[in-house]
Structure 1
Amino acid sequence: MTPTLVRHHRYTDPYADPSLPVDAGTRARDWAEIQERMLAPLYEAVYERLEVGAATRLFSLGCGSGLALLIAASRGARVTGVDTDRERLALARERLLPDPGHPAGPPGGPAAEPAARLAVGGPAAAPPAEGGPYNLITAFHPIGCVAGDSEGLAPALESAVPLAARGAAVVLTGWGPPERCATAAVLRVASRPAGSGPERGGRADSWRAARRDDLEEVAARAGLRPDGSGRVSCPFGYADLDSAVRGLLSTGLFDTAARAADRAPVEKEVARALRPYQRPDGTVWMPNVFRYLVCLV
């Protein structure tokens, strides 16, 4: 898949005044319009490997604003997603569910079935799969950026597994080695203001570098059997520095740093860290590698 350079139209920046709270809806839209598509090659590679299609009953854990679900639905899969972020999930509904006032379908015929079923919360909020248990569970939020993220995902997976058929595939994803991910140098900004450990005031959710066995450790905690893995190139490309800063801040990885040092200094640090990746035409380009691990229930 050819990477797409994100072009983002400027509008009033809610981050510009540090005295104003971050608008959750704006940040969710920054994620959906700027950042989420950077992971599209990862979604496509996983779906291609697992031959996702009309026979797939997919459950997405942490579906965000729904791009991965949209790609799966376009391949014919029946998709269900849950997420605790209400703002991102609202955008997923815009993408995936027909307008109640203008239901899709042939003139005079029945309305088309929704392209997805979405629910706020964790696995307990998911409705049963249509046509039988789920045969694919995905956790596309990359592991390996936040201290404690692998420990936090395992219980959610344990709750999701009973929804799946025996032998169903479960896919975990994570950042590749830091030396293969240019964005790792920028993400280190997330750990600076808050410190790098408890003795310096750092928090459990501060940034950390990805480890080689992150995905395997999560699989072991959740009682899953690894059944293959792969690496996918996911370059981050932005039309300008402003779009890059907005996109990266929308990930939430800098929230701890912003709480400790306010948003304005964090934005400046992120922009400074991005400078080496800015091209003469103003675009920003950072090569990255992501991993995925396929497991069996």
Structure 2
Amino acid sequence: MTPTPTAVNTARDWAEIQERMLVPLYEAVYDRLELGPGDRVLGLDCGAGLSLLLAAGRGARVTGVEPRPALRALARERVLEVLSGPPESSGRPYDLLTAFAPAPGALAAALPRVRRGGAVVLAGWGPPERCTVPAMTDPGGAADLDGLVERAGLSPEGSGRVFCPFGYAEVGSAVRGLLSTGLYDLSDPGQAEKELAEELHPYERPDGTVWLPNIFRYVVARVA
């Protein structure tokens, strides 16, 4: 029997199974902005902190914001500075603010910490017809990233699309990974697992692996 998901279990599944699926998105953003030594990065809703680790690997100084205690604890295990909310003061302003799963309230609270001319990157699902997982879960379509930029008073600079396939060794790990995303109703965990496993069968390959192609979109804006 599959264990009932808990906040700790799903956080661990996110860190061990799911989080790496977004590496192409993180790397594309950092490449575009030429992130490097001396840059200060503030990552909103940073989860277990993989995006911050990649930025730190390029020489950036990183701080994360993660309101969920279980994910925040995992990020801190990676020796990252991760807060429960946007820093009240940061000394030198940040050069880059990332919101790979943007929440308007957190974005508004964090923007005063970014320097004038600093970059803000928002990201989310691409076109529904190019995203296997949203087509399965029906989360309401792609986020209105351009609308968020406009409402935040930012100056749009450009956008991009990144191929982020979700690949799993077998259906069981795919179920665990996808349930950790927060896209699914876990009020009845057993039923959610059963239904998801059934929906995954068309994406199961002859060798038992599961392959879910997805496109993500990001927008780059500047603080005026």
Same fold (TM over 0.5): yes
Matching of residue 233 in structure 1 with residue 216 in structure 2? no
- Which residue of 40, 57, 80 corresponds with 2:40? 57
Matching of residue 269 in structure 1 with residue 195 in structure 2? yes
User: Which TM-score applies when normalising by structure 2?
Assistant: 0.95
Matching of residue 174 in structure 1 with residue 138 in structure 2? no
- Displacement after TM superposition at 1:187 (Å): 1.5
Distance 2:179 2:62 in 1: 28
Q: % of aligned pairs identical?
A: 58
Distance 2:159 2:23 in 1: 17
Matching of residue 289 in structure 1 with residue 182 in structure 2? no
**Residue number in structure 1 paired with 2:3:** 14
Superimposed CA distance per residue, residues 154-178 of structure 1 (whole angstroms, 9 cap, x where no aligned partner) = 2321211110110000000010101
**Residue number in structure 1 paired with 2:174:** 244
Question: Are the aligned partners of 2:136 and 2:199 in contact in 1 as well (CA < 8 Å)?
Answer: yes
- Displacement after TM superposition at 1:127 (Å): 5.1
The number of equivalent residue pairs is 223
Matched residue SS, 1:58: strand
Matched residue SS, 2:149: helix
Distance 1:127 1:35 in 2: 32
Unaligned runs of 5+ in 2: none
Distance 1:94 1:47 in 2: 23
Question: Are the aligned partners of 2:129 and 2:135 in contact in 1 as well (CA < 8 Å)?
Answer: no
- Which residue of 186, 189, 196 corresponds with 2:136? 186
Matching of residue 28 in structure 1 with residue 17 in structure 2? no
Larger Rg: 1
Question: Are the aligned partners of 2:128 and 2:142 in contact in 1 as well (CA < 8 Å)?
Answer: yes
Matched residue SS, 1:253: coil
Distance 1:118 1:155 in 2: 18
- Displacement after TM superposition at 1:186 (Å): 2.2
Superimposed CA distance per residue, residues 55-105 of structure 1 (whole angstroms, 9 cap, x where no aligned partner) = 21000111110000000000000000011011111111111x1xxxxxxxx
After TM superposition, the structure 1 = structure 2 runs for residues 38-187 of structure 1, keeping only pairs within 5 Å, are 38-95=21-78, 97=79, 116-120=80-84, 122-123=85-86, 125=87, 128-129=90-91, 132-141=92-101, 153-187=103-137
User: Which TM-score applies when normalising by structure 1?
Assistant: 0.72
Distance 1:45 1:134 in 2: 20
Q: Could you say what the CA RMSD is over the residues aligned between the two structures, in angstroms?
A: 1.5
Matched residue SS, 2:183: coil
- Displacement after TM superposition at 1:208 (Å): 1.0
Unaligned runs of 5+ in 1: 1-11, 16-21, 98-115, 144-152, 189-206
Distance 1:184 1:177 in 2: 9
